[in-house]
Amino acid sequence: MVNIIGKPLNRVDGSLKVTGRAQYSAEFPQENLAYAVGIPSTIARGKIKSIDTSAAESLPGVIKVITHENAPKLQPLKTFMQGGTAAESYLPFQDNSVYYSGEHIGLVIADSLEQATYAASLVQFTYEEETPIVEMQKQRNEEFEPQTVFGKKPSVIRGNPQDAFNKADIKVDEIYTTPTENHNPIEPSATIAVWDNDTLTVYSSTQATYGTRKALADSLEIPEENIRVICQFIGGAFGCKGTFWSHMLLPVIASRQVNRPVKLVLTREDMYNVVGHRAETEQNVKLGATREGKLTAIIHDGITNTSMYDEFVEPFTVATHMMYACDNLQASQRLVRLNRVTPTFMRAPGEAPGIFAIESAMDELAYALKIDPIELRLINHADTDPDENLPWSSKSLKECYQIGAEKFGWSKRNPEIGSMRDGRYLIGMGMATATYPAFSSPASAKAKMLSDGSVVVQSSTHEMGGGTATVMAQLIADTLGFPFEKVCFEYGDTKLPRAPVSGGSMTISSVGSAVHGAVKGLQAKILELGGIKQSDSLTIEDYANILKKNNREQIEIEYDAKFSQEKEYSKHAFGAQFVEVRIDPDFGEVRINRYTGAFACGKILNHKTARSQFMGGIIMGIGMALMEESVVDPNLGRVMNANLGEYHVPVNADIPDIDIEMVEEIDNHVNPIGTKGIGEIGITGVAAAVANAVYHATGKRVRNLPITPDKVM
C-alpha cells in the first residue's frame, strides 16, 4: 500500500480546465435557449410610480418583460442568519419599493443576449424618490444591537474589563476601520433554468446545491424532489455564492412564463450590487497591560451595517473572544441600516476585519512596552480557550511563531522605527497572528465498487478551485490502498448525497469524513462478503475477485457523517503572518518585498493544493491591506467603482514569492481524518501584518484600510 495522503498530486480537474472542457453554470447548452437581462434601479430609495415597456416589447426577438406588475407572487424565505438558506429575505418584483441602487426591478427575456441587453435599456421607470441612507457615520443615532453575532451574544463581558482598563499600567485605545469590499470572482453569478412540466433543472453557480434547491422549493411552493440543481465547477466565490440570492429566481420564473430554458448571467456591475459584500466596520479596541506585557483588559466594540430589510452582522469580534489569555474582556457589536443590498459572507467573515483591528492594537501595545511583537503574543498565549473555558483540540501556534520567524528572518529586524533601508527605500517588517475556527457539518456520501475493482464515491459538494475533487480522490485511494487513478469522486449535483454549503472552511472536514466513512464501510462490506478479516495485503484484483465470485456487478454503501454537538474541545486552526514592505518615501507607494506564512491546520491532504489555498488567502489579504475598497456615492447610494478597472485587486506584479510553512498536526478531535479547514485562515492577520510593517518602516500608524499612498506620505 502506498500512502498518498499529503502528496502534492496534480488536480484531477486540471486538464478539463486548461482545455476548456470544464462546464461552468453559464455553459450548459440548451435547445431553444432564451436570454435574460436584469434592469437595475437608478435610485437607492423610493417607489416605482410607472413603467413603460412598450419600446422594449416592440423590438424583434424580445419575448417578454417582467416587472412587479406581472410577476408571480413568491413565498417568503428565511435567511441563513434565521436558520434558512437564503442570503436575503428580499424577493424580486413583489411590490414597487426600491431599497438600493442597482436592485433588479425588471427583467427582459429575448432570443439573444444582445437583444435583451438593448431592450433592457429602453424600459422606462419613473420614481417617487426619497433621500437614501448610505453613510454609516451619519446613522450613529440609529444604531441597534443585533439579535446574535454568529451564534454569540452581541455583547459579552468577562470579568471587569472597564475597571481593569482604567487601572492598567499601559493602555492602547484606538479606532480602526475597514471599508466595504466586494468579492470579484472571475465567474459572475449565472443561472440557467429549464422546466419540464412540473420538474425544474437549474444550473447555477452556487456553493450550496441543496441550499439552492430548498430555497427554490420554498419560494415556488413545489416539492424539493421536483428540483435538480447542478454546479460542478465554480469560477471563484469567496462567499458571495454561498447562500441563495434573489436573482437566482429570475430565470426560473421567466422560464416558466415563456416556456423555454432561460439563462441569466450577472454583469460585472451587478456583482457589486445584488450579491452582497463585506460590510464596512468601525472598531474601537482598548488594551490594558502590565509593564511586563501581561494583558489585563481587552475591550473590542464597534459598528457595522446591514440592509433595510435584513439583519446580517459582519462578526468582527468573534476572534477576540479566544485569541489571548485575559481575565477581563468586553466584546460588543451594533448595526445601522443603510440603503444597500444585504451584506454577506466574504472570505473569513468577521476574522478578516476583526483581526486587523486586534492585531494592529497588539502591535501598538508592543511598541508602547518596547517588547518584541512575537514576545508580547507569547506572554499572552492562551493555553486553553478563555472564551469557552475548554482545552484546545490541538494548537501549534507557538510552533508557527517559531518556524515562521526563523524562515522569515525576524531576528534581523531592527526594532527602531525607520531604521531599515534599501537605498532610498524604507524597509519595514511586521507580523500578526492568524486564526479561524475548525467547523464541521453533517454530510453524506455514497461509495460503490465495480466488478473491475474501480471505485466511485459521490457527494453533492463542489469544486470551487481549491482542490476538493483531488484531495477526496486521495482520501479514497489512501483508505483502500488503491492506485489513485482507479478511484473517482463525483460531485456537484442534488441527485447525489447531501452535502453542506462549501463554506466556512469545512468541506474537507465534513464531506471528507463522509467519504472516509463510506469507503471504510464499503471495504468492510466487501471483506465480509469474501469472508476475509484483514485488508492490509489485499490488492485491487483481490477486491474485484470477491465481487466476481459472488456474481456482483457492483456493491455500494451510503454513509452519513455526524458530529457531536457536545463541546469537549475548542477547535481552531492557527498561524503566523510575516511581511516585509518596501516604501517609496516620496510617493508613499507600498510594495510587498517578502512574505512568510506559517500555519497549523491539522493533517494536510495535498501539499500542493494546500499551498495554493494559503497563498490565495494571503494574496486576498494583501489586496485588503493595500487597495480594495468599494466607493459609494453619498448622495446616490451607488457603487462608483463597480468594475475591475477601478476596484483594485492584486496582480502578479504586486505579489512576491510567498513562503508557506505548514506545521502539520493531526487532530482527531475535529474529525476522523485529522484535518482542519485551510480555505480562510490565510487571509486572517495579513492586513494587520502589512499595517504593522508600514509603521515599522515609516512611523505612520494607518488604522483605516486600505493603506493608500496618501495615508503613508
Q: What pLDDT does 221 receive?
A: 97
Q: What is the pLDDT of residues 308-347, one digit of tens each?
A: 999 999 999 999 999 999 999 999 999 999 999 999 999 9
Judged by DSSP in three states, 57 sits in helix
Q: How far, in Å, CA of 401 to CA of 685, rounded?
A: 13
* 8 Å CB contact between 468 and 508: yes
427: Cβ–Cβ under 8 A, 6 or more apart, which residues? Answer: 420, 421, 580, 581, 582, 583, 593, 697
Strands 487-490 and 329-337: unpaired
Q: How far, in Å, CA of 21 to CA of 364, rounded?
A: 51
Question: Could you identify the residue written with the cell 421567466?
Answer: 254
Mean pLDDT of the chain: 96
Topology, domain 13-21+445-561: Aldehyde Oxidoreductase; domain 4 (3.30.365)
User: In 3D, which of 399, 407, 350 has the Cα closest to residue 600?
Assistant: 399
- Provide the CA 611 distance to its chain's centre, in angstroms: 17
Q: What is the CA radius of gyration of the chain?
A: 26
Axis-axis angle for helices 507-530, 468-480 (nearest 10): 30
Judged by DSSP in three states, 301 sits in strand
User: In 3D, which of 291, 433, 417 has the Cα closest to residue 362?
Assistant: 433
Q: What pLDDT does 12 receive?
A: 94
Q: What pLDDT does 664 receive?
A: 87
Segments making up each domain of the chain, as ranges: 13-21+445-561, 34-131+186-236+241-274, 155-181+277-439+568-711
Topology, domain 34-131+186-236+241-274: Aldehyde Oxidoreductase; domain 4 (3.30.365)
Q: What is the pLDDT of residues 121-172, one digit of tens each?
A: 999 999 999 999 999 999 999 999 999 998 889 999 999 999 999 999 999 9
pTM: 0.97
User: Half-sphere exposure of residue 488, counting CA atoms within 13 Å on the CB side?
Assistant: 8
* 8 Å CB contact between 342 and 349: no
Active site residue: 187, 314, 364, 680, which one?
Answer: 680
* 8 Å CB contact between 488 and 446: no
Q: How far, in Å, CA of 479 to CA of 521, rounded?
A: 11
CATH class of 155-181+277-439+568-711: alpha beta
| CA distance readout (Å), 179 to 135, 138, 154 | 12, 15, 21
* 8 Å CB contact between 604 and 664: yes
Q: How far, in Å, CA of 529 to CA of 534, rounded?
A: 13
* 8 Å CB contact between 217 and 224: yes
Q: What pLDDT does 536 receive?
A: 73
Q: What pLDDT does 564 receive?
A: 86
Q: How far, in Å, CA of 227 to CA of 229, rounded?
A: 7
* Count of beta carbons in the 10 Å neighbourhood of residue 515: 31
| pLDDT < 70 stretches in the chain | 1-2
Q: Do domains 13-21+445-561 and 155-181+277-439+568-711 have the same CATH topology?
A: yes
**Does 680 participate in catalysis according to the annotation?**
yes
Judged by DSSP in three states, 622 sits in helix
* 8 Å CB contact between 173 and 286: yes
